[in-house]
Amino acid sequence: MEKTSSGGFVARFYKLSIKSDGHFVRKNSMNRNHPEEEGSVPLAALEKLNRAIMAAKMTIWKVRYASGNCNDCVRTTFRLEVCGKDGKWVRYSGNWDLPLPLPADMEAVLAAMEF
């Protein structure tokens, strides 16, 4: 799973990558003291994230959520790859430029990434 945001009036870059074992790497150009952080997602947060992922209906998410023309916006890209118990992979990759209403199950996954 990966969430990346970049751009805007003040150039910035934020990236959070989480593996299924809970290991994460977070890069944030706005945090000059600690531009890169790495560690393990707390167990309760990892369980919440896994529940949100398992409840998500990724196959109906759009590739692009947009409301029109936007200059100097922050673009957010989200990529999620999930391997089911049957061994089949479901992959999603999409992006948006503005804070738009996103599907509730996608919002739940994104919210669970905040720990």
pLDDT, tens digit (0-9, with 9 covering 90-100), for 15-70 = 999 998 999 999 988 888 888 999 999 999 999 999 999 999 999 999 999 877 77
Cα(81)–Cα(65) distance, rounded to whole angstroms? 19
pLDDT, tens digit (0-9, with 9 covering 90-100), for 62-96 = 999 987 777 667 888 999 999 888 999 999 999 99
Cα(93)–Cα(88) distance, rounded to whole angstroms? 17
- Bridge-based pairing of strands 64-65 and 74-83 is unpaired
pLDDT for 22 equals 94
Q: Quote the pTM value.
A: 0.83
Question: Per-residue pLDDT for 110 more than 70?
Answer: yes
